[in-house]
Amino acid sequence: MNESTMMAKAYENQSPRNTSWKADETFLTKRAALGKTWVVDLKGASSAEILCMRTFQGSVNRNVARLYLINSDHERFGTADRFWIEEYERQGWVEIAGHLTIEEALLKFGSEMDGYVAATGKEPWSIHAATVMAILKNGIVAPDEVAIKLKNSGWKELDSLCGRWSDAVSAYNEMVKLHRADLAYPGLALVRPSEGLWDFVVQQQIMPVFSRPKHDTWEGVARIMDTYPGKHILYGYVSDDTVEEEIAVERASSSGKYLVPTHEVSNLSYHSVVLGNSPLLPVERKTNEAIPELDLSQVNVAIAITDGDNLQVPILQYPLPEFWNTEERKGIPLGWSMGVSLSTLAPGIWEYYRKSIRPNDEIVSIMGIAYVHASTLPEPSAYFDATFSSMTDMGLQTLWSLDSSLTITDEPLWDVLENSPARSVLKGVLVGYGPSIDKAFRRDTGTPVLITQNGYSEDAARIKERIEAIIDMDPSERSPVNFFMATNWSTNAEDLYRTLKPLEERGVRFLRPSQALALMPEIKGKARSSVEMTAAPGFCLPAGFVEQFGSPILSSPVLAEINNPIPVPILVTVEGPMVGTTVACTAVVEIDVNSLARDFLANRVLPVVEGYGLSEEFAAFAWMKLTASEIQVELPMTDNHTSWDILEVTSGDSKVSAVHMGRSLRIALDGFSSDSRVSCPSIRASVTFSAKVPLVGDQEPIHFVIQPEVVTFDFSLTVGIGEEDGPLVGGIKGRMVGTGAQPLMDAVLGG
């Protein structure tokens, strides 16, 4: 019986960690034991050799983790790989047995394998299929020249999958059909051959596939994903750009999958074991910590770094000298986003951050247990229950959600979130990766919410400019508290500390996110699905409930934006002669249908997109369609006329009618659609009418006034990215009401 088998038997009855929910069951097939560790540097290895070694590592670490890989050729990742194994050894959590070359490692542990499965990088799907067969046949994956080397070294070929399938989807479908029940984990991993997750895929026995929404394989792979059970993890990643990201996360969420971005993470088969049997401890906070009172004469700012739901960030990026371990870290308060999956998938790494946290640091739970659009999950309550349970276990108080639905104050998803049994841990919510019409609001239930005021791709200098703009504002116009995100790929903690700390001398008070949320006063949110405000003259707003449809990713920002009044889109003028005591004039109604959608797209939609830093990418695919129906234009008149005649109605191709309603002229128009993608003819209609105003004796001249028009219409506002029948299409519909800016006529009669 070899070391792996003996230690596995010793640990096979081990209990899950002390979590308040089924964390191990959700994320893992099992947690291996920890043995004496051998370290291999992959320096100089080919891509085929690296892939082979990662699948080899997964097999070696299947029951007992003993193999750790460092990729020195990747400067940043290699630095992080080295940091963790050295930190583990410093803490006494692991014992390093020695260092091996690739050849020495294959020789030392090769006897535990039954052979190799040949594949080729020319057919990447053969690598995914070979991984499945290697899991089942106790082998490793040998792409291209590696297979030749292993064969020449005496290894047995268990199978060869080169040339077996002509396309990826056929390979994946066959593997799923034949072997999904043979693999231990009931989920998928979307991973490229060149990425780092393969050791974990092999160790945990996860079905590997790959696609992207812009690939011709996407629908086939997405259909496979749909068949897997919800409330399990989708490992790897789903996109190469933001358009793909929105499509893929929406599809994954709608089928109940919990995406944990892990594609670039190396050594997860090892990290998941270190301290895996030790108690999970929460972040230590000062129990009597006083929160400073809110001072509105200061600019109150909270900043948090993205993108910690991607485990690459806390595992391979934060350890670098310019992030968590910078000497500047004694500077301003800063939030550090981390996915709570870290405490289960890398317990030793979580313990390192927990223990080394400083007073100005706050670990923020970004996206909870996984990257999802909670608004499209079949069971969002299960997601929130697991998220808040995990936050309780870890001692985290702030949730950072990217779900744009939560920018809407009365969004029903808030009720699901706040009714979670474990919700008591939550002290406040950060929302978004881009601005909305609200900067901050407090729910009627008391939950404080901060919405980021900046977008993607902003470095420390740009964030400084934004804060300086707030400094220059009148204090009465500032938000009491302000939240900015610092994207991990655009800046680093060292730059933030050095660039922003001098602003303290100009009246800026930096706060941890939880402090900013706790200090926030009562602020009513403007973005609502039931609009009760009245627009100022010249503008219009929805009246009453506004229904969302399609993708919440798009419908929620559009709903928030429509809570900002828009100019009345219908131009009404009144012209004509006045003869004695009779008013004879023409009301002209004009609708520039062609420019309506284009102007709204350019002036309202794309600025929101630009706030996310995505305008260049989204603008190439974004479109907008406004459909209006039941259009009525009412012209209120003074009550000093005794007779009324509608003389003529002209409307071109549009159907128009007019009727005298008491003191008003009501004009009804056919509906129309304005589409930013096509040219649309304008609408022009005119109604000629007369009204007689009697004068008595020598009375003074009187005014005949036509008040500002009242415009109402039903509307449907649709925003799309890409095809109209595609997944990124959403919008809102409701009833729009507005009034003109000034009276249409003020005529002097008589005299």
**Each residue of 5-59: pLDDT tens digit?**
544 454 444 556 888 899 999 999 999 999 999 999 999 999 999 999 999 999 9
Q: Which two tokens stand for residue 321?
A: 């000298």
What percent of the chain lies above the pLDDT cut of 70? Answer: 92
Three-state helix/strand/coil letters over 537-561: CCEEEECEECEEEECHHHHHHHHHH
pLDDT in tens, 346-373: 999 999 999 999 999 999 999 999 999 9
The answer regarding whether domain 531-749 maps to CATH 2.60.40.1170 reads yes
Three-state secondary structure call for residue 125: helix
With a CB cutoff of 8 Å and minimum separation 6, the contacts of 696 are: none
Q: How far apart are CA 346 and CA 352, in angstroms?
A: 10
Model confidence band, residue 409 (pLDDT cutoffs 50, 70, 90): very high
Q: What is the CATH code for 299-519?
A: 3.20.20.490
Better pLDDT: 100 or 6: 100
User: For residue 705, which amino acid is it?
Assistant: V
pLDDT in tens, 509-545: 999 999 999 999 999 999 999 998 899 999 989 999 9
Q: What is the chain's mean pLDDT, rounded?
A: 90
431, containing H or E segment: strand 428-431
| Least confident segment among 174-188, 474-488, 557-571 | 557-571
How many beta carbons lie within 10 A of that of residue 151, not counting itself? 15
Q: Is 0.85 surpassed by the pTM of this model?
A: yes
User: For residue 734, which amino acid is it?
Assistant: G
Domain boundaries, the chain: 3-270, 299-519, 531-749
527, containing H or E segment: none
pLDDT in tens, 211-255: 999 999 999 999 999 999 999 999 999 999 888 888 899 999 999
Q: How far apart are CA 385 and CA 391, in angstroms?
A: 10
- State how far the alpha carbon of 713 is from the alpha carbons of 111, 346, 517, 554, in Å: 76, 56, 40, 22
Q: How far apart are CA 205 and CA 189, in angstroms?
A: 10
Q: How far apart are CA 734 and CA 136, in angstroms?
A: 56
| Residue-level pLDDT at 13 | 43
CB burial string 156-177: b at 16+ within 10 A, e below: eebbbbeebbeebbebbbebbe
- State how far the alpha carbon of 404 is from the alpha carbons of 243, 422, 557, in Å: 15, 22, 6
pLDDT in tens, 691-731: 777 665 556 667 778 899 999 999 999 988 888 888 888 89
